[in-house]
Amino acid sequence: MARPDFRITCCLCGKPIPRASDVYALDEEWQRRYPTMVGTLACKKCALSPQHFWKCQVALDEYVPGHHPAADPKECYDSWDHIVGFGTHAAMVMVHPYSGVLQGAEEYLRWQLGRPGPDNDLTKGIREALSLRDESAVSSQPR
């Protein structure tokens, strides 16, 4: 089977991210601020634009209520500190398979699992994300 072609749909603007552009992974604090986000993978424009820029603190040493601290860096200041990484479409869906499944890479991830290769944390994560997908597909079917 040929490598399935896919493009990630941005979790914030809902547009397909150009294949040549990097995909940005956002964390829980972004999800808390934008509850309608589907998945956590965003286009560069949304991740870095002034439109979505926010600060963690409302005053000196006072975080906004409900703030989820960033995993890294330990002290966070703004939305940029809550970007957990960026990279190619293919790399980002391997590292963030739950979002990958939700945002357009389901077929690609199934194809990845079917290829010969090492069984490691990446393949384990993909397998879990896909089985969760299969379970929710079964439970949402009419009886």
Residue 113 makes contact with Zn ion by CB under 5 A: no
Q: Which of 56, 101, 105, 126 binds Zn ion (CB under 5 A)?
A: 56
Cis omega (within 30 of 0) on the bond before 73?
yes
Question: Which stretch, 5-13, 30-38, 106-114, 135-143, contacts Zn ion (CB under 5 A)?
Answer: 5-13
- Least Cα distance to 106 among 114, 95, 98, 117 occurs for 98
Q: Which of 25, 37, 46, 92 binds Zn ion (CB under 5 A)?
A: 46
Q: Which of 6, 8, 9, 10 binds Zn ion (CB under 5 A)?
A: 10
Smaller CB separation from Zn ion, 11 or 94: 11
Question: Which stretch, 1-9, 32-40, 75-83, 113-121, contacts Zn ion (CB under 5 A)?
Answer: 75-83
Smaller CB separation from Zn ion, 70 or 92: 70
Return the sign of the alpha-carbon dihedral for residues 134, 135, 140, 141: positive
Give whole-number Cα distances, 111 to 36, 40, 65, 105, 135, in Å. 29, 22, 42, 10, 19
Q: Which amino acid is at 71?
A: A
Minimal distance, residue 9 CB to Zn ion, in Å:
9
CB 17 within 8 A of CB 89: yes
- Least Cα distance to 57 among 72, 75, 40 occurs for 75
Minimal distance, residue 43 CB to Zn ion, in Å:
4
Minimal distance, residue 134 CB to Zn ion, in Å:
28
> What is the binding site for Zn ion (CB under 5 A)?
10, 12-13, 43, 46, 56, 70, 76
